[in-house]
Structure 1
Amino acid sequence: MPVDFTDKQGGKTYGQLRKKQEDALDEINKDCVDGGDYSDVEDLEEKLVAYKAKFMEYDLDNSGDIDIMELKQMMEKLGQAKTHLELKKMIAEIDTTDSGTINYTEFLSMMLGKKNSILKIILMFEEKGKEKEKPTGLPPKKSLADLP
């Protein structure tokens, strides 16, 4: 009995799905820039590129939404494991469409908006917590005069 692999996601199909999602998110980013809703945000275009990458990183199935399991994996990856109830509350805080998931528009309004949510705070701290670039090469030479 032959195995049918045509319905499996992978390889070329995965790349096409990923590209389709990226194009859709680019369109939303373009609307944000053109719409003027976030005109007071500094470095808006740079932030939108970073937020798109972050959203795509955590939208594991490329559905266009971050569901509760993807949010769970995101929190674990960030070292902030949460209970099922906490995850539901985090989604409810952001979910304006009552879909039970976080779509990209909701993600952007969370990150760029004035209101703070638990997820926004965690993501902002994660960004600030990244290690600074360490100097490379030999350490500078010191003399006896440099000692305290």
Structure 2
Amino acid sequence: MGVEGLVPPKNYGIKANREEEALQEINKELLDDPDYAEVEDLADHLETFKKKFLEFEKDAEGNIDMFGLSRMLEKVGQPKTHLEMKKMIREIDSTNKGTICYRDFIAMMLGPKSSVLKLILLFEEKMKEKEKPTGVAPKRDLASLP
């Protein structure tokens, strides 16, 4: 029997919806938090961070674990060793669970403290902003090569 005959369970996607709703509730709290009152475009930043967090949160408990962090770093072209990732998590983790919860993720991205992970993610955003040239590449001769 192939997969084409299988019917997805009725609760498929419910966990993801609950997770997104929980993060949306945290975002609402943060919008009223005086600590973040001075952040420009806070609502837009929070929505972007929520999407990024949900993309890599796969531990079924609302946290980015070592595997999720590894995928995140590989996606932005900055793969790290296991020990480097443990250090990154330790810099951010306020719960001492060895994972990154959403509140820690937001505090890292919007707070004054700079961590390696924050720098990598901000670098990724800056790289996206640059417009890539389109069209046919200009012809070059041997004299123009470095």
Q: TM-score, normalization: structure 2?
A: 0.80
Q: Where does residue 23 of structure 1 map in the other structure?
A: 21
Take 1:94 and 1:11, find their aligned partners in 2: how far apart are those partners?
A: 36
Q: Where does residue 106 of structure 1 map in the other structure?
A: 104
Matched, 1:41 2:64: no
**1:100-136: CA deviation from partner (whole Å, max 9, x where unpaired):** 0000000000000001000000000001111545688
Residue 114 and residue 38 in structure 1: after superposition, are their counterparts in 2 closer, same or farther (change >3 A)? same
Residue 131 and residue 44 in structure 1: after superposition, are their counterparts in 2 closer, same or farther (change >3 A)? closer
Q: Where does residue 55 of structure 2 map in the other structure?
A: 57
Q: CA deviation at 1:69?
A: 1.1
Q: Say whether the 8 Å CA contact 2:59–2:65 is kept in structure 1.
A: no
Write the letter of the residue equivalent to 2:69.
Answer: L
3-state DSSP class of the match of 2:32? helix
3-state DSSP class of the match of 1:123? helix
Count of residues in correspondence between the two structures:
128
3-state DSSP class of the match of 1:81? coil
3-state DSSP class of the match of 1:13? coil
Q: Where does residue 71 of structure 1 map in the other structure?
A: 69
Deviates more, 1:62-71 or 1:99-108: 62-71
Q: Say whether the 8 Å CA contact 1:94–1:110 is kept in structure 2.
A: yes
Write the letter of the residue equivalent to 2:120.
Answer: I
Report % sequence identity: 56
Take 1:12 and 1:51, find their aligned partners in 2: how far apart are those partners?
A: 29
Residue 83 and residue 135 in structure 1: after superposition, are their counterparts in 2 closer, same or farther (change >3 A)? closer
Q: Say whether the 8 Å CA contact 1:18–1:62 is kept in structure 2.
A: no
Extract unaligned runs of 5+ from structure 2: 1-7, 136-146
Q: CA deviation at 1:60?
A: 2.8
Q: TM-score, normalization: structure 1?
A: 0.79
**Which residues of 2 match residues 87-106 of structure 1 at below 5 A?**
87-106=85-104
Q: Say whether the 8 Å CA contact 2:57–2:63 is kept in structure 1.
A: yes
Q: CA deviation at 1:63?
A: 2.7
Query: Which runs of 4 or more aligned residues in structure 1 lie more than 4 Å from their structure 2 counterparts after TM superposition?
Result: 131-137
Take 2:56 and 2:101, find their aligned partners in 1: how far apart are those partners?
A: 11
Q: Where does residue 145 of structure 1 map in the other structure?
A: none
